[in-house]
Structure formats: structure tokens, C-alpha cells
Structure 1
Amino acid sequence: MEAGGASTTTTRKRKAAALEGHPAPAAAAADPGMGEGDGGRSGEDGRDLDRLSSLPDAILGEIISLLPTQQGARTMILASRWRHLWRSAPLNFDCRHLACPWPGLPALMLRIISAHQGPGRRFSTPEVLYTINDIDAVEGCLLSPALARLQELKLNSWRGQRLPELVFRFSDTLVVFRIERCRLPDATVQRFHFPRLQRLEIVHSSTSECSLHSMIAGCPSLECLLISRCGGPRCLRINSLVLRSLTVRNYSLGGAPILEEIVIESAPCLERLFHLNQKQDLRVSVLFAPKLETLGCTNSTRLVFGSTDIQGSRTIKCLALSMPTLSLAMVIGLIRRFPCLEKLYIQRNTSRKNNNAWRHKYRDLLKSLDIILKIMVLNCYSGRKPDVDFVTFFALNAKQLESMTLVVQTDDEDFLAKQHHKLQLEKRASSGARFHFTTERRYEFGYKLSF
């Protein structure tokens, strides 16, 4: 019985090590029959069974497919029960997770894809493609029968080359497609038709305005669209019955024309709209988007609803705001224009001083301003007077506030105690409001909200 208990203990260590990406203990590696003779029992009376290994192969295969490539392959050493599962499970082939020196990477990629017997579900190329051999290896993988029913494809850092024709063999199956550092000429885009595609990311790539619209039109099921640092188009017009999320980071790419305007002509399902670049102006016109609830903007975003400059939209309930300097006046102006705003996320990149004193300036305004905010998150809270004035305004006047999270640089108890006193939290307008101080950085949460 003692031997059986020790064997099972080693089994658990072995499984944990494999799933966490660590080498298996030496004792585990020396016992090839583990997981069979002891039935996965963990104690002398056998009450604690290994329920994971008792699951059907199909379910275990789905679990393995969610792991990074290297961790998924390591599950083969758990027991003879697991040896065949990774090869037959849906393949999640992410080349970025392969611990292999660059010269041997192309050969390793081809060896993995040829050895796998299950259907390919996800394929992500290496972060950097150094030579033409890397390109050839990627194209060899794309030609593999294992990827015939590919659902997710990420072409990372395609070295500025044109989109490979091989991607069109996945026209009927692709659901997620990321294109990075790629040329998208008009002749190639003419074939761009992915009827099942739900998420499209175009990053640091070049194309024409006409081709960009053709790509979107070629994806009738598109729900999420990301356009980041792309050169060529100046204006993007959205007409989509199914699009739910649109994220844009406009950026000048090698002197090419930059995206200057977005016009939401008709998007009845659009829920989230984000502009993430503080340094580039962008005009956003929303003509018809009745379900638009989440908005991400910066100090360089000019918003137009209907034919009037940001006169207000009663559909906006969540605002992710990125600004170089914390400005109470700007935030109050947005709250007045979005009277149904319930969630406010503020990304402040610097701690430059700004005058946020409000007691006299906003005394008359408070009589008519109804602040219905329930959740607030402020990144980069310094504890200095401008920040204290900003937070105190909402602590003393937001009567429906439920929680406020302040991201700080230190969790020193003396510092936190002083902040509670400075912010006058004992006088908060909402008795149920909770104030959290955390050192967890939340950079670009607007981008995370968008997807």
C-alpha cells in the first residue's frame, strides 16, 4: 500500500510539472507504467480518484488544445493513457512558444506539423521571420493536411511581404485572422472572402482605402475589427449588420497616408468603439449605431454623433478615456454629454501637474449635474493634490458610486492611510462605495475592453 501511495504522489507531481511547463521529476520519468496499475488513486483507501484521466479522450483532447504548444506536447509523458492524446487532439500550434534556437526553428516547425495526426485549429507564426527559410517553413506548414480545417491564423511579422495566396485555402473555415507587417495589394485583396470570419486584425500593414473596404465586405460575419498602425487609407466607412467591436490605432507608416476619419454609417449591432492613439487626431462620426454602449477615446479624438459635435448620446454607458494629463474639466464635460454613463476607466500615462480644484468652480454645476457613475478605475494615481482633488470630486458627489479602483505605485501602509484621510472617504456621497488601492498595472485597458 505504501508503494501504491508513493506511486500516485509521484503521478500527481508529474502531471503538475507537465501542465506547468516544467520537466517531470526523475522518479516519475523512471516509472513508465504510472496511471495504469494504481487506477489513479491518491491514498491507501483509494477515495480520491484521478478524475481528469477518467474523462473521455474527446474532452481531454479539447483541454489539451487550449494549452500552448510546448505544454500540450508535454502531456504525453504523464502516463501511457495520455501518450496518444496530444497527437490526435485539435492542434494549437503557436510557434512563438517553442523553446528552440532560431537556426533550428524552421525544421522543428515542419517536424511538429508532420507528426501531428489531429485537426489543426490554431496556427501562429514566429514573432520574427529572419530569412526566406522561415517564410518557406511557414508556407510548408500552411500546406500541411493537418491544417486543412484551420480556424485561427496569425501571420506575425510577415517581413513586409505580400499576403501569401495559401491563406485562401482556409476561406471556408477561418474564424480569427491576424495579419501583421504585410502588404495587401489590390490584386490579392480581390480574393479576400472569408464567410465565417468573426475577428480580423490588421496590424502594421499597408493597403489602399478601396482594398480595406473590400476586405471588410468580404467578411460578412465579421464581429470584431482591429486596425492598428496601418498606412494607406484616410477614411474608413462602416456599413455592417453584424459588427460588434471596432478598435483603431492610427499611425504614420513610412510616410504613407494615415487614417484620419471613421464614419459609422450603419452598424445596428456595434457595441464597442475605441481610438487608442493620443498623438494622432481622429474624427469619428456616428450616424447610426443604436447599441453603442462602450466608447474608448483620447484627447485627440473628435466625436460627432449625428450631425452635431459630441452633443451627447444616451446609449453610452462605459467610457475608457486615455489622456496625457488628468483633467477634471474634460471628464466633467464628457459626463454631461453622456448622461447615462455608468463606468469610467481613465488611462493617464504621466503624472504632470494639473489644476483640478473644483469646490468653487463647480458649485453651481453640481445643482444640475446628475452623476450616475457606478464604477471608476484610475490608472497612475500619484497621491498629489491634483489627483486628490480629482478623486475627491467623485467621492463626495457620485451618489450611486459602487466601487473606485486607484492604481498606485506603492502599497506602503502609511501612504494608503494618508490617502484615505486626504480623500475624505468618511464623507463619501455613496455609503456603499468601496475604494480599492492596487499596484497592479492596467495599461491599455481600453484595448482589452475592446475584445
Structure 2
Amino acid sequence: MRVVLTCLPAPPYPAAGGSRPSPGAHGGGAEDRISRLPDAVLADIVSHLPAKDAARTAALSRRWRRVWASAPLVLDHSDLLRALPGAGGFDWLGTTDAVSRAIGAHRGPIRCVRLTCCSMALAARLGVLEYWLRRLAESGAEDLVLVNRPMPEFLPLPPDVLRIASVRTLYLAYWSFPDTAGLPCGPAVFPRLREIGLCSVAIHARGFDHLLACSPVLQKLAIVASLFVPSHVRIRSRSLQCLVLWRSLTNELAVVVAPCLQRLILWQEYPCMPDSDVFYTRVRIGYATGLKVLGYLEPGVHQLQIGGTVIEVSLSPSFLPPIRSYMTYHYPSVTSI
């Protein structure tokens, strides 16, 4: 869980906290100049507030209610997380209900939804998980982080997630990816998706191929904390620029067709696997004419094949066959990722 939470995109705004100035600390009785701003500017301001604070602006006046209703919703549901009085735990039912009311009450557009502490299993049993995804699709959601927490791990993700055509950034954690048989496929599914993270997501080769085929402008793909799911990762993408395997193992990683791919990062192999020749990942580089960075390769874990040339660990660099000039290797530090 710590690895997964580390790799997620940052929250849309700083965490609430600290002391707030009193109403009169900076001349609270002074002239109200903020309300003179156009509605579009006020809506942009409100969209950068935590969900609770944004909703409170509706109590100021009728005009502010209109502003709140039209402002893009930014929902980090940790703002709605409810604790059980005296129990030292969380009220998962109350939190789930709060998320449903926040998504349902706001009839304007949705810009960002980040659900990292919600009981998705409870939401699925109550039938609201599908409702959330439908509302996100209807409201044009752009940036989504959906973490199935707490467990069970590999909870089935409803196929409605593949109907959110407006999404640009999508991170999924601890889900079982939907069975794509019979589902729409092609560039119209995720026409705007540019970045996706699959964090401990059970997805098979067919679903992985389906995902790439549906994302015509995808630039960044991260596979995090995944063991052999999928067992063979095959990259066919005309737009992908960066591919990261972090704390993940797969039998084969094949870059079949990826002319725009610039960085292929294999970072921190799963610690539970032995560093012997009992297991290795074959890294095959096919058509990737833009590749500039490839690393970090571990002897005894990775077998590298470029075109028809297999590079053996035992070979001295002076005896290696020629490698195309577009390939450079970087091994210095984590910051290069």
C-alpha cells in the first residue's frame, strides 16, 4: 500500500489544516471586492477549494449558489472521511454516503475525483459504485484516482469505467480490470487519455491490448506492484512516450510497435523474487525508433533482446554486436525517472 500511495498523483490542492485568520484579522469589515468579479472567475476560484469549503460558499448568497453549481467539482474524498466517535476507526458507510451525496448534488462539470480511502466493496454492495462511474461519465470527469481500499484486493471494477470518454489521467489500484469481451473498442473509448497507472491491478493480456487500442493519445503508462498480471506485456501504441514498470514482474515485456517511446524504466524489482537464473523477464525491443533511455537492467533478472539480437549477461561489452545508435543507457540515479 505504501508503494502504491507513493506513486499516485498529488492531491489537487494542499491538505487542509493549520490556523485560519479570524474574520477581522485583515479588515473583515472592508469592502467586498471578490463579489465584483465575473462569475467565470469566481467559479475558477471555487474549483480550487476543498469540496467542503467550496460547498460552504453557496451559503453566502444566491449568486454564490449559482457559482457553486457551475464550478467544476474537485473531490478528494479524504475531505469527507468520517471517524467513528470513540472507536478509533472510520465510518465507512457514512463516508460512502457522503461521496454519493457530493457527486449527486453537484450538477455542474466534474474536473477531478480522488477516492483513495473509500470502501469500494461496500459501495459495490450498495450499488453506488456503478452510479459514481455513470455520474463521472455524464459530468465530463478529467482526472480520476480510484483506489480499492480497504481490501478485498482485486475487487471487480465495473465496465462503466470504460465509458468515461473525457478522462485525461486515470490511476487504478487494487482492482480486477473488467473483462473486455464484447465491450466497445477503438479510439473513441478514451480519446483524451494521456496518462494511466495500473497499481496492483489484475489485468490479462487481452484487456491490456484493449486498453492500448482504446487510447490513441496515451503518453505515459505505469505498471506498479504487479506480479505476472499480465504475464506478457506487449506494447502497441503510436503515441506512448514513457513506460514504467515499478516493483513489478512479468515473463515478457515486448515493445512491438512504439515509434514515440522515449523512456523505458524498469525500477526496483519485486524484493520477494530471487536474483538468480531461476526467473528472468525477457525485454524485447522491436520497432521503437525514438527510444533514448532504457534501464535499469538487472543481470539474472532481465534478458535483453533488440531486434533479432539477444544480449547475454556473460558477454564482455567489447564483444557485443552493434546496437542501433538511437539506444542509450542510463544507470545513474532515481531522479532520471
Q: Which residue of 2 aligns with 1:88?
A: 70
CA contact (8 A) 1:125 1:138 kept: no
Q: CA deviation at 1:30?
A: 11
Change (3 A) 1:308 1:211: same
CA contact (8 A) 2:246 2:269 kept: no
Amino acid at match of 1:306: G
Q: CA deviation at 1:77?
A: 8.9
Q: Which has the higher helix share?
A: 1
**Is 1:21 matched up with 2:21?**
no
Candidates 308, 323, 326, aligned match of 1:315:
326
Amino acid at match of 1:293: K
Q: CA deviation at 1:120?
A: 0.9
User: What does residue range 106-121 of structure 1 map to in structure 2 within 5 Å?
Assistant: 106-121=96-111
User: What does residue range 37-52 of structure 1 map to in structure 2 within 5 Å?
Assistant: 38-40=31-33
**SS at 2:333's partner residue?**
strand
CA contact (8 A) 1:34 1:79 kept: no
Change (3 A) 1:215 1:189: farther
**SS at 1:206's partner residue?**
coil
Q: Which residue of 2 aligns with 1:387?
A: none
**Higher normalized contact order (CA 8 Å, seq sep 6+, divided by chain length):** 2
In 2: Cα distance, 1:242 partner to 1:146 partner? 24
CA offsets 1:95-139 (integer angstroms, 9 cap, x no match) = 134342232211211222233242112222233416524763443
Q: CA deviation at 1:245?
A: 1.3
Amino acid at match of 1:209: A
Change (3 A) 1:71 1:302: farther
Q: Which residue of 1 aligns with 2:314?
A: none
CA offsets 1:365-401 (integer angstroms, 9 cap, x no match) = xxxxxxxxxxxxxxxxxxxxxxxxxxxxxxxxxxxxx
Amino acid at match of 1:58: A
Change (3 A) 1:304 1:196: same
Change (3 A) 1:143 1:237: closer
Change (3 A) 1:262 1:118: same
Change (3 A) 1:30 1:145: farther
In 1: Cα distance, 2:233 partner to 2:193 partner? 19
CA offsets 1:336-369 (integer angstroms, 9 cap, x no match) = xxxxxxxxx424xxxxxxxxxxxxxxxxxxxxxx
The aligned length equals 288
**SS at 1:167's partner residue?**
helix
**SS at 2:131's partner residue?**
helix
Change (3 A) 1:203 1:146: closer
CA offsets 1:276-305 (integer angstroms, 9 cap, x no match) = 233464322222222222333142444333
Amino acid at match of 2:220: C
Q: Which residue of 2 aligns with 1:181?
A: 174
Change (3 A) 1:242 1:106: same
Amino acid at match of 1:223: Q
In 1: Cα distance, 2:191 partner to 2:232 partner? 24
**Is 1:240 matched up with 2:237?**
yes
In 1: Cα distance, 2:247 partner to 2:16 partner? 38
**SS at 2:218's partner residue?**
coil
Q: Which residue of 1 aligns with 2:6?
A: none
**SS at 2:326's partner residue?**
coil
Q: CA deviation at 1:71?
A: 5.7
Q: Which residue of 2 aligns with 1:48?
A: none
CA contact (8 A) 1:284 1:301 kept: yes
Candidates 115, 129, 154, aligned match of 2:145:
154
Q: Which residue of 1 aligns with 2:276?
A: none
Change (3 A) 1:22 1:206: closer
TM-score normalised by the chain length of structure 2: 0.69
Candidates 239, 253, 256, aligned match of 1:265:
256
CA contact (8 A) 2:43 2:70 kept: yes
Amino acid at match of 2:238: L
CA offsets 1:43-79 (integer angstroms, 9 cap, x no match) = xxxxxxxxx77654324433543455456556x3997
CA offsets 1:173-196 (integer angstroms, 9 cap, x no match) = 222222222223535573463233
Q: CA deviation at 1:23?
A: 7.3
Amino acid at match of 2:143: E
Q: Which residue of 2 aligns with 1:98?
A: 80
CA contact (8 A) 2:95 2:118 kept: no
In 2: Cα distance, 1:302 partner to 1:73 partner? 55
Q: CA deviation at 1:156?
A: 0.9
In 1: Cα distance, 2:263 partner to 2:309 partner? 20
In percent, how many aligned pairs have the same letter?
Answer: 26
In 2: Cα distance, 1:83 partner to 1:231 partner? 51
**Is 1:202 matched up with 2:198?**
yes
In 2: Cα distance, 1:309 partner to 1:182 partner? 35
Q: Which residue of 1 aligns with 2:284?
A: 285
Amino acid at match of 2:16: G
Amino acid at match of 1:132: L
Candidates 200, 209, 229, aligned match of 1:213:
209
CA contact (8 A) 1:93 1:124 kept: yes
Q: Which residue of 1 aligns with 2:333?
A: 346
CA contact (8 A) 1:122 1:153 kept: yes
Change (3 A) 1:267 1:107: same
CA contact (8 A) 1:157 1:182 kept: yes
Change (3 A) 1:146 1:167: closer
Q: Which residue of 2 aligns with 1:351?
A: none
Change (3 A) 1:71 1:293: farther
In 1: Cα distance, 2:287 partner to 2:227 partner? 25
Q: Which residue of 2 aligns with 1:166?
A: 160
CA contact (8 A) 1:283 1:301 kept: yes
Change (3 A) 1:173 1:28: same
TM-score normalised by the chain length of structure 1: 0.54
Amino acid at match of 2:304: L
In 2: Cα distance, 1:153 partner to 1:309 partner? 40
Choose 1 or 2 for highest CA Rg: 1
Q: Which residue of 2 aligns with 1:142?
A: 133
